[in-house]
């Protein structure tokens, strides 16, 4: 643990100093180049903002309307059939859309059931093993102006579904 | 597809929220999302610029090129259509490693940089290219060895061993990655056929 902590602590500073040092040794004008790159970052931030806004708006409205809970309740009969705890369903449904909201949900599950309950651990594993597929796709494609994502969404969602099934199986095996 | 999903989320929220007498809350949520989007993007901008600046130095000094070439045997299999020593492969490798280490803040700039490179290689800029979709499969199903925020949350909630979810989550994650890459190559083949 101590070694990992030390490594984690030193990794970033070494990169922060190492890249400019390497550049300088290779004859790069490090200061001007840094500024040039940072400017590009600003342009990207401007370009991705509308996409982030569009997702936040739709997800925020959908959650507040109560439809999200309705959806989670509607599929709960199927999930209890497979011994999937009901409280983990909202986590799974929200995961592709919003990372911070999912983390909040996982926190709620832990508060209700205790951090070491099976549901809580399963919720944590679901959160840890998947990403905000929908959000990432809009963000990345938006940043380069791609309007037609073709088969990217189904590919990502298939991965999420398989990851979720694997999470249930491995949690049942280890924590069950 | 995105059009339909987005429209559905908004229209159904207004109708269902309205039917439940929650229409004011739904409106408020829409307005609040503007604030959250500004918070997120502004919060991200500084770090984004910082990493893009460093990335530029790494690129000009040939460091990215070096990394790309070192991992070429691996990336060449995933991205056969990209020239073997193209710098975009370096950005892709850096994105994947940053995700692996749980450095989300660093991963996004590398990823966006990689997307810009893939866009330059694409024939039709408005349509996702095959390599873009493969890259998105890697990003959305990335394996995280140190899910820092999750461990912190478990620690704060009083877990006996906050790290005990890491093993299962890496395993589940690897299953997701494998499935997504298989689905990706299967769908890429199907789409290639349809085009001919």
| pLDDT band at residue B57 using 50, 70 and 90 as cut-offs | very high
Write the residue in B25, B28, B140 that is nearest to A133 by C-beta.
B140
Looking from the CA of B195 toward its CB, the CA atoms found within 13 Å total 8
Distance CA(B164)–CA(A125), nearest Å, equals 10
Beta partners for residue B127, in sequence order = A148
- Euclidean distance between the first and final Cα of chain A, in Å? 26
Q: State residue B195's pLDDT score.
A: 64
Distance CA(A42)–CA(B52), nearest Å, equals 9
What are the residue boundaries of the structural domains of chain B, listed by start? Answer: 42-195
Distance CA(B157)–CA(A19), nearest Å, equals 38
Q: Name every chain B residue with its beta carbon within 8 A of the beta carbon of A92.
A: none
For residue A47, the chain B residue with the least C-alpha distance is: B41
Q: State residue A1's pLDDT score.
A: 57
Write the residue in B56, B115, B150 that is nearest to A124 by C-beta.
B150
| pLDDT band at residue B1 using 50, 70 and 90 as cut-offs | low
Q: Name every chain A residue with its beta carbon within 8 A of the beta carbon of B118.
A: 144
Q: Is the ipTM of this complex over 0.85?
A: no
Tens digits of residue pLDDT in B91-105 = 999 898 888 877 766
Mean pLDDT score across all residues of chain B = 87
Residue pair B145/A8 in contact by the 8 Å Cβ criterion: no
| pLDDT band at residue A4 using 50, 70 and 90 as cut-offs | low
* Mean pLDDT on B144-154: 80
Distance CA(A68)–CA(A61), nearest Å, equals 10
* Nearest residue to B52 (alpha-carbon basis) of B119, B125, B134, B107: B107
SS3 content of chain A, % helix, strand, coil (to 5): 80, 0, 20
**Interchain CB distance below 8 Å, B132 and A137:** no
Residue pair B119/B177 in contact by the 8 Å Cβ criterion: no
Residue pair B51/B114 in contact by the 8 Å Cβ criterion: no
* Mean pLDDT on B166-195: 90
Residue pair B102/B144 in contact by the 8 Å Cβ criterion: yes
Distance CA(A152)–CA(B129), nearest Å, equals 10
User: Residue A75: enclosing H or E segment and its boundaries?
Assistant: none
Tens digits of residue pLDDT in A103-121 = 888 988 898 899 999 999 9
What are the C-alpha distances in Å from B18 to residues A39, A161, B23, B26?
A: 44, 32, 5, 8
Looking at the predicted structure, is the pLDDT value of residue A85 above 70?
Answer: yes
The distance of B3 to chain A (nearest Cα, Å) reads: 10
Q: Locate tokens 């984690």: which residue?
A: A8
What are the residue boundaries of the structural domains of chain A, listed by start? Answer: 47-174
Residue pair A69/B17 in contact by the 8 Å Cβ criterion: no
């Amino acid at each position: 643990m101590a070694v990992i902590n030390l490594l984690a602590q030193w990794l970033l500073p070494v990169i922060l100093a190492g890249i400019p040092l390497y550049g300088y040794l290779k004859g790069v004008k490090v200061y001007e180049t840094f500024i040039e790159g940072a400017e590009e970052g600003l342009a990207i931030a401007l370009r991705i903002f509308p996409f982030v806004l569009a997702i936040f708006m739709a997800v925020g409205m959908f959650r507040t309307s109560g439809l999200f809970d309705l959806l989670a309740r509607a599929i709960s009969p199927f999930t209890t059939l497979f011994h999937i705890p009901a409280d983990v369903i909202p986590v799974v449904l929200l995961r592709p859309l919003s990372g911070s909201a999912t983390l909040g949900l996982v926190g709620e599950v832990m508060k209700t059931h205790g951090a070491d309950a099976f549901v809580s651990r399963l919720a944590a594993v679901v959160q840890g093993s998947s990403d905000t597929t929908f959000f990432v796709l809009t963000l990345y494609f938006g940043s380069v102006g791609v309007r037609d994502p073709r088969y990217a969404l189904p590919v990502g969602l298939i991965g999420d579904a398989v990851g979720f099934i694997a999470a249930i199986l491995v949690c049942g095996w280890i924590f069950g | 597809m995105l059009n339909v999903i987005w429209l559905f989320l908004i229209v159904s929220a207004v109708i269902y929220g309205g039917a439940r007498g929650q229409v004011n809350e739904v409106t408020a949520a829409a307005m609040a999302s503007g604030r959250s989007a500004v918070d997120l993007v502004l919060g991200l901008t500084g770090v984004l610029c910082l990493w893009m600046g460093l990335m530029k130095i790494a690129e000009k000094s040939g460091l990215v090129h070096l990394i790309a070439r070192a991992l070429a045997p691996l990336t060449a299999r995933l991205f056969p259509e990209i020239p073997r020593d193209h710098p975009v492969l370096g950005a892709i490798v850096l994105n994947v490693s940053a995700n692996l280490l749980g450095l989300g803040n660093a991963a996004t700039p590398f990823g966006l940089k990689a997307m810009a490179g893939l866009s330059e290689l694409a024939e039709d800029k408005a349509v996702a290219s095959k390599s873009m979709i493969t890259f998105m499969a890697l990003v959305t199903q990335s394996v995280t060895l140190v899910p820092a925020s999750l461990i912190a949350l478990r620690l704060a909630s009083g877990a006996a061993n906050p790290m005990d979810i890491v093993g299962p989550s890496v395993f589940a994650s690897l299953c997701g990655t494998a499935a997504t890459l298989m689905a990706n190559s299967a769908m890429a083949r199907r789409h290639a056929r349809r085009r001919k």
